[in-house]
Structure 1
Amino acid sequence: MLNAATLVRKPMRNTLKPALIMLSLLVAADAMAQVPSLAKCTRSANLLACVDADGNAYSVNTAGSTIYLRGFEVAGKRYWAQTSSRYGQLTFFTGIASDGETWVGYNRRVGWTTINRFSSSGGSSARFTCSRIAGC
C-alpha cells in the first residue's frame, strides 16, 4: 500500500530533475555569453594544444601520472614549461620561463578541498585553499 509521502516524493522527483537540468543549462549559457572568445584546441589521445584569440598558446601532454605543460604568453613575450607529478592526492610542479623565472609548488586534495602553494624566483608566492562548494 502506498502512503502519502511516497505519492508526493515521486512527482516531486520527476519535476525536480528537469528543473535542475534546465537551471544548469541556463547557467552554462550565461557563462558562455560572458566569455568573449574561447581558445581553439586540437586534441589527440594524450595531447591537447590550444591557441586563444590573443595569440597565447599552450599544450598539455600526459604520460602516466606526469603532466607536461608548454606555452607561449603574448603579454610577456615568453615561452614557458611546467612539469607536474602526481602521488596519490599530492601533486608537485616545477616550471621555467624563457626569461629565466622559475617556480615550484604543490597542491593537495583533502576531500572536496584543495590546498595550493607556490613560490617563484620572481618573488611571488602564495598559499590558498579552494573548495568545490565555495571556490577559491
Structure 2
Amino acid sequence: MRNALKLALMSLSLLGAAAVQAQIPALANCTRSANLLACVDGEGNAYSVNTVGSTIYLRGFEAAGKRYWAQTNSRYGQLTFFTGIASDGEAWVGYNRRVGWTTINRFSSSGGSSAKFTCSRITGC
C-alpha cells in the first residue's frame, strides 16, 4: 500500500478520535476550524480534511513520493465509500463499515495493492 493511501486512511480514522494531538504530539501539527482540519507532520507530509454534510474531502502531499493526492469519502449511515487519485495516476477505491466498536475496511488500487482488515477501538488494527 502506498504512503498516500495509508495517510488518507489514517487521517480518516483520526477524525473520530478525541484529543489526538494531546495523546500523540509527534504525529502531526494541525490547525482546525469548524469544518476544516489541516496538518503537517515531521516528514513534510501535508493533508487537509474538509467536511461538507456527510461528505469528507481529503487533499494532501506525500513528501517521500513527491506527489499530490485527493480522496472523497461519502457516508451512508454506518457505511463509508471512498475514491482517490494521486498526481502520478494511481487511483483507489474502497469502503469502511462500522459494526459496533469494530470497523471493517477494504480497498484496492490501480497500483496493485488491495487489502481487507478489521480495526477495533479496544484491540486496534
Which has the larger displacement, 42-51 or 96-105? 42-51
Alpha-carbon shift at residue 112 of structure 1 (Å)? 1.2
2:49 aligned with 1:60, yes or no? Answer: yes
What corresponds to 2:124 in structure 1?
Answer: 135
Which structure carries more helix by proportion?
A: 1
What corresponds to 1:96 in structure 2?
Answer: 85
Structure-to-structure mapping, 1:19-34, within 5 angstroms = 32=24
Consecutive aligned runs of 4 or more in structure 1 exceeding 3 Å deviation? none
TM-score by length of 1: 0.72
What corresponds to 1:87 in structure 2?
Answer: 76
Identical aligned residues as a percent: 88
Name the SS of the counterpart of 1:42 in structure 2. strand
Aligned length: 104
Radius of gyration: which is bigger? Answer: 1
For structure 1, the 5+ residue unaligned runs are 1-28
What corresponds to 2:67 in structure 1?
Answer: 78
What corresponds to 1:126 in structure 2?
Answer: 115
CA offset digits 1:1-55 (Å, max 9, x no partner): xxxxxxxxxxxxxxxxxxxxxxxxxxxx9x65xx6x3422111111111111221
Of structures 1 and 2, the one scoring higher in RCO (CA 8 A, sep 6+) is 2
Which structure carries more strand by proportion?
A: 2
What corresponds to 1:111 in structure 2?
Answer: 100
CA offset digits 1:80-121 (Å, max 9, x no partner): 000000000000000000000000000101111111100000
RMSD of aligned Cα (Å): 1.5
